[in-house]
Structure 1
Amino acid sequence: MSTKELELSPAIAGAYLTKGTIGNVGTPGAPIVHFSLVVVPSKNTVSGTVEITQAIEGGNITIENVKGTIRATGFGKITKIVSLEGEYFQSFPPPAIGIMEQKFFAHMDIDDSWNGQGGFSYGGQKINNVPVKSEN
């Protein structure tokens, strides 16, 4: 599909890429979500990739094919509500052998610049009320 065809497609028109973080960046040992998402406002959808980083052994997790929704609030400083979910495989810690499927969920209450508050859960951990910061 050519760029011209993409621009004219009603499902793609207005789509944009956004990148940022969810978490207490700069806090030693804090898990941080790095997101790279394609947003299609006309469809209220977001999709992309998430990487969770944490300064511990085996602390980096990449989750591809993350999907979710984006909704406008219609008032106040928080103009958008975003929810994300995805799945990833995690190896059992040694000496065990095997892998298990884990779920990832995230939520963001953000302004038009993709800054605000949010939280996420993965692998039995829940992190709430942390900053969302745009890297755009």
Structure 2
Amino acid sequence: MMANTFDSVRVITLTAGNQGMPGAPILTMALLIDGADGTVQGKGEISQAVAPPYGELRVSNITGQVRSMGFGPATQALALKGTIFTTLKPPAIGTMEIPFSAFFVTDNDWVGNGYFNYPPNDVTDVPIAPGVTLSAVAAAA
């Protein structure tokens, strides 16, 4: 019998930002993490109490790596990049592509700190915590 190639893949949701602070940008991500090689893929959303269309920004094509650090309470480093597409405000016509990047240091339970960036915004020293984590095999069943 052939081994299931999806056994090492996990689905995880992570939320980063100063929740409870009025106007703070909050990043929510749904990620597929392959524990075998550390690759990460997914999507996300940055929400903030600001005037439209900037109150909710969708982050597309999130890719990156998770690496084991092997020492202390911080056991994982998560480096990500992606793209935000936003419609220009009238009278301008078109769509603007904004690069997204993030870096977090967490424990084995995905609790930690880090930053995310989407120019001209640098959101630094924010907590990150998990939502639901599932095995990809269980999620597909």
**Same fold at TM > 0.5:** yes
Name the counterpart of 2:136.
none
What is the identity, as a one-letter code, of the residue corresponding to 1:26? Answer: G
Q: Distance in 1 between matches of 2:16 and 2:96?
A: 25
The alpha-carbon deviation at position 38 of structure 1 amounts to 0.7
Is 2:103–2:115's contact at 8 Å kept on the other side of the alignment?
A: yes
Task: Among all aligned residue pairs of Structure 1 and Structure 2, give the percentage whose two residues are the same amino acid.
Answer: 35
Q: Distance in 1 between matches of 2:87 and 2:120?
A: 14
Q: Distance in 2 between matches of 1:27 and 1:133?
A: 16
Q: Distance in 2 between matches of 1:67 and 1:100?
A: 20
The alpha-carbon deviation at position 88 of structure 1 amounts to 2.2
Which secondary structure state, in structure 2, belongs to the residue aligned with residue 43 of structure 1? coil
Alpha-carbon deviations, 1:22-44, whole Å to 9, x = none? 11011111111001111101111
Q: Distance in 1 between matches of 2:42 and 2:92?
A: 32
Count of aligned pairs:
130
Query: Could you list the runs of 5+ residues in structure 2 that have no partner in the other structure?
Result: 133-141
Name the counterpart of 1:28.
22
Query: Could you list the runs of 5+ residues in structure 1 that have no partner in the other structure?
Result: none
What is the identity, as a one-letter code, of the residue corresponding to 1:105? Answer: S
Q: Distance in 1 between matches of 2:25 and 2:124?
A: 11
Alpha-carbon deviations, 1:76-123, whole Å to 9, x = none? 110100011011212222332222211000111001110100110013
Is 2:58–2:85's contact at 8 Å kept on the other side of the alignment?
A: no
Q: Distance in 2 between matches of 1:99 and 1:61?
A: 13
Name the counterpart of 1:49.
43
Alpha-carbon deviations, 1:5-37, whole Å to 9, x = none? 7x622xx32111111211101111111100111
Q: Distance in 2 between matches of 1:86 and 1:30?
A: 20
CA RMSD, Structure 1 to Structure 2 (Å) = 1.6
Name the counterpart of 2:139.
none
RCO greater where, 1 or 2, for CA within 8 Å and sep 6 or more? 2
Query: How high is the TM-score relative to the length of structure 2?
Result: 0.86
